Amino acid sequence: MALSRIEKRFDKLKSENRAGLVTFTTAGDPDLETSLEILKGLPGAGADIIELGMLFSDPMADGPAIQEASIRALKGKMTLSKTLDMVKSFRKVDQDTPIILMGYYNPIYIYGVNHFLEDALSAGIDGLIIVDLPPEEDSELAIPAKKAGMGMIHLSTPTTDNKRLEKILENASGFLYYVTIAGITGTAKPDLTPVKAALDKFRKVSDIPMAVGFGIKTPDDAARFASFADAVVVGSAIVDIIKQNLTEENVANSELTGRVLSFVKELSKGVNRADREN
Amino acid sequence: MPLILDVEKTYREAKSDPAFKQEFDHLLKEFVGRPNPLYYAKRMTEHLGGAKVYFKREELNHTGAHKINNCVGQILLARRMGKTRIIAETGAGQHGVATATVCALFGMPCVVYMGAKDIERQKPNVFRMKLLGAEVVPVTSGSESLKDSMNEAMRDWVSNVKDTFYIIGTAAGPHPYPELVRDFQCVIGDEAREQILEKEGRLPDSLVACVGGGSNAIGLFHPFLDDNVDMVAVEAAGLGVDTDKHAASLTGGSPGVLHGNRTYLLMDDDGQINEAHSISAGLDYPGIGPEHSYLHEIGRVKYVPIDDKEALEAFQLCSKLEGIIPALESAHAIAYVMKMAPDLPKDHIIVMGLSGRGDKDIFTVAEALGEEI
């Protein structure tokens, strides 16, 4: 089988001996047009993998920043189909950067799992992170996704032990997303040492690439985690820049896209200057 | 997830431990005041002129509703797991008050998440929780009501897994909650069964209860599921099930996945959850416990809508006829009894779950009736 875009990207990162930068923004935040403009600018600004949030009315695993992004997208009448269309339009200008959709199960369940997988693959989506489907429910989506050739990124947390990890990895593909804190997105600041220890432990049982995320906010944070992780995810801090560049009516000001992308450039520099261990 | 697997493991162990049951029963008797009466509503029966109506008086429990049964059970589980901090969500405030109460009893710190909109319409309960030593945290995300409080409680829980236990108030949420909440609430149906056999020498013909998430209904119904007894669960129809302002998940919703369970939900074509509406804060939830969805699909229980207006009328009628001010939630069940009883023969026995008392609702009702208090 041909290598997936995610596999190719991690191979490339490995050959360059650096960690990847994974950026998160919510599709349709603050509006469809701006969101697409940001999406198209991300690879040029240094995003190695793009995580795109699918809005949900009840984002249980997210902190205030991403909750608000979801509400802005919802108010702008964003939908799952429009999210797929956005990616289709992105693929006209970029064939190489993997795109991962992150969100909750209900919109996919309502769209219809098989129908969704078909449309998402043809739109050029490479993987899914569905935070409210634990491995116990792999038959719902992870197994059909795997069969269809869609990457299924599973989450593990500081409460995951090795036995649990085996279960998590059973139907996982693409990479493992290690949640650095016990908590929700964009809140507590993670400590480096326990995260590194957890990854070291996991690497003894699996060679799947490991991304770390939740609470990583600055280029310096990114640099520190990039010294040992295969990829570093930044979400809420980027979404905060979107929020800071809205008018009182929640409309994007003219600087918004530029500011988001220059922040991503800084994050990318952070990741690339990391002192890699070998 | 490991945490919730622990809850399940602890619950399995507790279920087969006689000491657990003994402590649970003891607290229900001495602290909650069980058994509560199965009361023959004579004037209501005469007024309706048909079936004989009994009320299962959960509103006489300590804290004024059925919610305390479940809270006693769950805090015993929390202790068994060695947890030292309790969180809960609440809609009308009944579950919040019940949780704050058991936390006071066991000297455990308690945080209750409550929608900002609900805090406004349930002030007496907010103050009760504070008196009991709980911290009430207003939830301003989403629709500011019950589902958002549940989101916020889950966010707290995943952030404080080590020491915290989440006491969920209804028979919904991730497994094993629907099952354990049902089991703790089955005391309602178990007692009612014994009491009706004693009073009438036979089982009732019909059971009626209101449903939001559905804990009091499942507690009343479950012990009768294998018997030849009709069951009617009453959903909150708000301004009407043909409007977008109701909370009738089974009458007006479709299957989806939220809060770790697959069940009937109110949502749009894109799978986004809609805001529910009901005059009763306790029924204002856009989903329903998964076991109710099952009982609906197999046709074992009939689910019917009662709107705000009908509930308000029943609230007043019950107060005047029986000297019992019911909770607005329970008034939905009374309203349906008022509809069904007149057409039934006099020897038809209805047992209705009077799930809570209405003191907390007098401000809402006064406002709806245009009166100032």
What domains appear along chain B, each with residue ranges and CATH number? 2-29+66-181 (3.40.50.1100), 33-64+185-368 (3.40.50.1100)
B32 touches chain A (CB under 8 A): no
Residue type at position B305:
P
d(CA B148, CA B164): 19
Task: State which residues form the domain around A181.
Answer: 5-272
Which of B151, B272, B274 is nearest residue A60 as measured by Cβ atoms?
A: B151
d(CA B116, CA B139): 5
Planar angle of CA A168, A174, A176, nearest 5 degrees: 45
Chain-chain contact of B151 with A58 (C-beta, under 8 angstroms):
yes
Chain-chain contact of B2 with A74 (C-beta, under 8 angstroms):
no
| Catalytic site positions of A | 51, 62
pLDDT in tens, chain A (278 residues): 578 999 999 999 999 999 999 999 999 999 999 999 999 999 999 999 999 999 999 999 999 999 999 999 999 999 999 999 999 999 999 999 999 999 999 999 999 999 999 999 999 999 999 999 999 999 999 999 999 999 999 999 988 888 899 999 999 999 999 999 888 888 888 889 999 999 999 999 899 999 999 999 999 999 999 999 999 999 999 999 999 999 988 899 999 999 999 999 999 999 999 888 65
Is A32 inside any structural domain?
Answer: yes
Chain-chain contact of B158 with A63 (C-beta, under 8 angstroms):
no
If phi > 0 it is left, if psi is from -120 to 50 it is alpha, else beta; for residue B267 that is: beta
Which of B142, B148, B260 is nearest residue A132 as measured by Cβ atoms?
A: B260
B151 class by beta-carbon count within 10 Å (0-12 exposed, 13-18 middle, 19+ buried): buried
Residue A99 sits in a domain of what CATH number? 3.20.20.70
**Contact partners, residue B68, CB within 8 Å, separation at least 6:** B32, B61, B62, B98, B101, B102
Q: What is the pLDDT of residue B327?
A: 96
What does pLDDT average to in each consecutive run of 10 residues of chain B (373 residues)?
Answer: 90 97 98 98 98 98 97 98 97 93 98 91 90 96 85 94 94 94 98 98 98 96 98 97 95 95 96 93 91 98 98 98 97 98 98 95 93 87
Is A228 inside any structural domain?
Answer: yes
Q: What is the DSSP letter of B267?
A: B
Is residue B266 helix, strand or coil?
Answer: coil
Is residue B183 helix, strand or coil?
Answer: helix
Mutation target to probe the A interface, by most A beta carbons within 10 A, among B8, B143, B155 is: B155
Strand B206-211 and strand B164-167: the pairing is unpaired
Chain-chain contact of B158 with A56 (C-beta, under 8 angstroms):
no
Q: What is the pLDDT of residue A1?
A: 59
**Total of domains in chain A:** 1
E strands, chain B, in order: 38-40, 52-57, 85-90, 110-115, 135-139, 164-167, 206-211, 230-236, 254-258, 261-265, 302-306, 349-354
Nearest CA in chain B to A160: B2
Is A168 inside any structural domain?
Answer: yes
Chain-chain contact of A108 with B271 (C-beta, under 8 angstroms):
yes
Contacts with B160 from chain A: Cβ below 8 Å: 182
Q: What is the pTM of this model?
A: 0.94
Whether the CB-CB separation of B284 and B91 falls below 8 Å is answered with: yes
Q: What is the pLDDT of residue A277?
A: 67
Is A277 inside any structural domain?
Answer: no
Chain-chain contact of B270 with A160 (C-beta, under 8 angstroms):
no
Of the candidates A103, A116, A93, A79, the one whose C-alpha atom is nearest the C-alpha of residue A43 is A93
Planar angle of CA B345, B347, B351, nearest 5 degrees: 100
Which of B3, B148, B256 is nearest residue A159 as measured by Cβ atoms?
A: B3
Is residue B337 helix, strand or coil?
Answer: helix
Is A195 inside any structural domain?
Answer: yes
Q: Which helix (H) or strand (E) holds B209?
A: strand B206-211
Q: What is the pLDDT of residue A278?
A: 52
Q: Which helix (H) or strand (E) holds B254?
A: strand B254-258
For residue A61, the distance in angstroms to the closest alpha carbon of chain B comes to: 6
Contacts with A110 from chain B: Cβ below 8 Å: 256, 267, 269-271
- Note the maximum CA span of chain B: 57
Which of A81, A159, A183 is nearest residue B2 as measured by Cβ atoms?
A: A159
Residue type at position B81:
M
d(CA B271, CA A236): 24
Is A18 inside any structural domain?
Answer: yes
Taking only the tens place, the pLDDT of each residue in B162-181 is 999 999 999 999 999 999 99
Whether the CB-CB separation of B240 and B109 falls below 8 Å is answered with: no
Whether the CB-CB separation of B201 and B179 falls below 8 Å is answered with: no
Is A60 inside any structural domain?
Answer: yes
Is A278 inside any structural domain?
Answer: no
End-to-end CA distance of chain B: 48
Whether the CB-CB separation of B71 and B89 falls below 8 Å is answered with: no
